[in-house]
Structure 1
Amino acid sequence: MGTVTSSARGGGGGGETALGDLPESCVAEVLLRLDPPEICRMARLSRTFRGAASGDGVWEAKLPRNYAHLLAAAAAGGNEEGRHAAAALEAETMPKKEVYAWLCRRNRLDGGTKEFWLDKGGGGVCMSISSRALSITGIDDRRYWNFIPNDESRFHAVAYLSQIWWFEVRGEVEFCFPEGTYSLFFRLHLGRPFKRLGRRVYSSEHIHGWDIKPVRFQLSTSDGQHAQSKCYLTDPGVWINHHVGDFVVKSSNEPMKIQFAMVQIDCTHTKGGLCVDSVAVKPHYLAKKKSSRIYL
């Protein structure tokens, strides 16, 4: 075992060839076949691996094709530091490894009501849309809805429904997603969560009406794709990602508008006790790894 470690670091004796003796171009070809976390681990093996793991060719292959647009979008919605990063990329002075790291951060859009980031493992683009960016029927009447603080939300606040007859939540986003298949989810919670003596608990005081008729989810895209699903809301006390549907992006150079909704407008009964946190868009490969509720 010690011999292998020594050889990998280029410390083998007796004229033996070590991994550190490989040409950096050969090492780069190996790294191109690994995912980003594996590349970072391989960079610890030797100086040669570290040099190859910093090469622009390796990291540009891991970036989405429209990474320049993504960085520009992050800069437009971010701070002065982000604008300097975009300028450095435009001048081709920013290493691609730093571009990848930058895009893996939480990049805010539209006044902080939306954010996107790269999945560190696979390089796919994810997005989260705050409840404050959604059009919610009755949101201006505190008899029905309130925004309450919540440290389990990416946006630190959620929309809480006490009681309403006409339930309708709609939203849209227009963005240059990289090519691929994406899944869209509503992140919901039955009951009002809070902490008591340091423990997470929830109030079931207002929960009612969700077992009478199902909630309907819908999505449509600007290029004519449609999806819908429906379900009864159950399992109070836990955050659940309710799957709305999937859509396919064929061109990363053109913005796609996505419209989505969840409705339960049967006015024969009231419903309440629901937290609406956000809407999430994830690459399909990543969505399949998560334990989300998927309905037909």
Structure 2
Amino acid sequence: MEEACEIARLPEELVSAALAHTSPRDACRAAAVSPAFRAAADSDDVWARFLPPGGLPPLADGEVAVPAPPSSKKELFLRLSAGPALLQDRLVSVWLDRETGAKCYILSARNLFIVWGDTPQYWTWIPLEDSRFSEGAQLMSVCWFEIRGKIHSKMLSQNTTYAAYMVFKTTDNFYGLDFPVQEASISAGATNSTRKVCLQGNDDDGGGEGGVPENYLPMIPFPVRRLRRRNRRVVSHEENATFPQQRTDGWMERELGEFLNEGGGDDGEVSISLVETKGGNWKSGLIVQGIEIRRKKSG
């Protein structure tokens, strides 16, 4: 107890300087130690160190400042880490990782390059009620599946490992998302990575009773097509494909890969893609909100 009292006698400036070299979580914990620590832990000097150097890209009107502008650097950080804030074009949103302050983004479907995305026969745009973005892309029917996104590396936090995720839902009558599996690629600087992913989990029934839906018509000769209708295909472990996970916001996500953003003033781009163009199988029923880029947590 005496040791705690001695620590409480330290000058607030010294405590603030020490806490500024920790993390947002450590600063919040320190605020619970004593009233003296709380004043230092909540100071602007501490929380200014947790905000991104150089600030954020310009935000859309009303973002963060509602119902009133933040009264401190800590309040600003907490608002930015509570959920995505739209940028000025309202096609990209940003938030801060609560543990490290790293900048994270979601690129909306409108911000992505989708092959045939403006052809209603193949893709259509629908309103979204459970997203910060006003609309998403719904896959009607394609046999050439290609979605690409990119972001400037300078928009990301330096020396941070990121992961990219496709954020999506499926309609009740989706089909063709399990085979062939899709190929996800990420290019960042001189580093390129590719992996196999599947937007349909093995537990999904694809809308049928143990068989491929009748409207699942791959572009292959008729005898082989009949065989696949009788035997619904399950992606094998040998293909090493990763599967979707449920999010707390009601959407699904599938990790597309990870990359290290070293920064250092490089004005390069990070390119992300999800493609399946070799099988000729028709696909339908995917609703794309966008691609999320967030700090990769260890473990």
In the superposition, the TM-score normalised over structure 1's length comes to: 0.69
User: How do 1:101-250 residues align onto structure 2 when only pairs under 5 Å count?
Assistant: 101=78, 103-104=80-81, 106-109=84-87, 111-176=89-154, 177-179=156-158, 180-189=160-169, 191-192=170-171, 203=172, 205=173, 207-221=174-188, 223-235=189-201, 236=204, 239-250=251-262
Q: Deviations over 1:172-231 (max 9, x none)?
A: 111412222111111232x22xxxxxxxxxx2x2x222233111111212x222111112
Residues 249/175 of structure 1: CA separation in 2 closer, same or farther (3 Å cut): closer
Query: Within 2, Cα distance between the matches of 1:142 and 1:165?
Result: 15
1:79 aligns with 2:56: no
Residues 123/260 of structure 1: CA separation in 2 closer, same or farther (3 Å cut): same
Residues 255/95 of structure 1: CA separation in 2 closer, same or farther (3 Å cut): farther
Q: Quick check: 1:178–1:252 contact (8 Å CA) kept in 2?
A: no
Residues 43/268 of structure 1: CA separation in 2 closer, same or farther (3 Å cut): closer
Residues 254/37 of structure 1: CA separation in 2 closer, same or farther (3 Å cut): same
Q: Quick check: 2:165–2:253 contact (8 Å CA) kept in 1?
A: yes
1:28 aligns with 2:16: yes
Q: C-alpha root-mean-square deviation of aligned residues, in Å?
A: 3.2
User: SS where residue 273 of structure 1 aligns?
Assistant: strand
The aligned residue for residue 100 of structure 1 is 77
Q: Percent identity?
A: 27
Q: Deviations over 1:15-43 (max 9, x none)?
A: xx476444324533663465324423543
The aligned residue for residue 215 of structure 2 is none
Query: Within 1, Cα distance between the matches of 2:280 and 2:44?
Result: 61
Letter of the 2:163 counterpart: S
Relative contact order, higher structure (CA 8 A, sep 6+): 2
The aligned residue for residue 49 of structure 1 is 37
Residues 133/19 of structure 1: CA separation in 2 closer, same or farther (3 Å cut): same
1:262 aligns with 2:229: no
User: SS where residue 111 of structure 1 aligns?
Assistant: coil
Residues 271/224 of structure 1: CA separation in 2 closer, same or farther (3 Å cut): same
Letter of the 2:126 counterpart: I
Give 1:44 deviation, angstroms. Answer: 5.2
Query: Within 1, Cα distance between the matches of 2:182 and 2:72?
Result: 47
Q: Deviations over 1:39-59 (max 9, x none)?
A: 235435544223212334422
The aligned residue for residue 292 of structure 1 is none
Q: In terms of mean alpha carbon deviation, does 174-183 or 150-159 score higher?
A: 150-159
Give 1:160 deviation, angstroms. Answer: 1.0
Q: Quick check: 2:197–2:256 contact (8 Å CA) kept in 1?
A: no
Residues 59/110 of structure 1: CA separation in 2 closer, same or farther (3 Å cut): closer
Q: Quick check: 1:227–1:244 contact (8 Å CA) kept in 2?
A: no
Structure 2 gaps, min length 5: 66-70, 207-245
Q: Deviations over 1:145-175 (max 9, x none)?
A: 1222333333243211121121111121114
Query: Within 2, Cα distance between the matches of 1:255 and 1:210?
Result: 35
Q: Deviations over 1:44-86 (max 9, x none)?
A: 554422321233442244334xx22x33x2xx34338989xxx
Give 1:270 deviation, angstroms. Answer: 0.9
Query: Within 2, Cα distance between the matches of 1:260 and 1:182?
Result: 12
The aligned residue for residue 253 of structure 1 is 265
User: How do 1:251-290 residues align onto structure 2 when only pairs under 5 Å count?
Assistant: 251-266=263-278, 268-285=280-297, 288=298
Q: In terms of mean alpha carbon deviation, does 244-253 or 54-63 score higher?
A: 54-63
Query: Within 2, Cα distance between the matches of 1:108 and 1:213?
Result: 35
Letter of the 1:79 counterpart: D
Relative to its length, the structure with more helix (as a share) is 1
Query: Within 2, Cα distance between the matches of 1:18 and 1:168?
Result: 63
Query: Within 2, Cα distance between the matches of 1:54 and 1:234?
Result: 45
Query: Within 1, Cα distance between the matches of 2:179 and 2:43?
Result: 58
Letter of the 2:60 counterpart: G
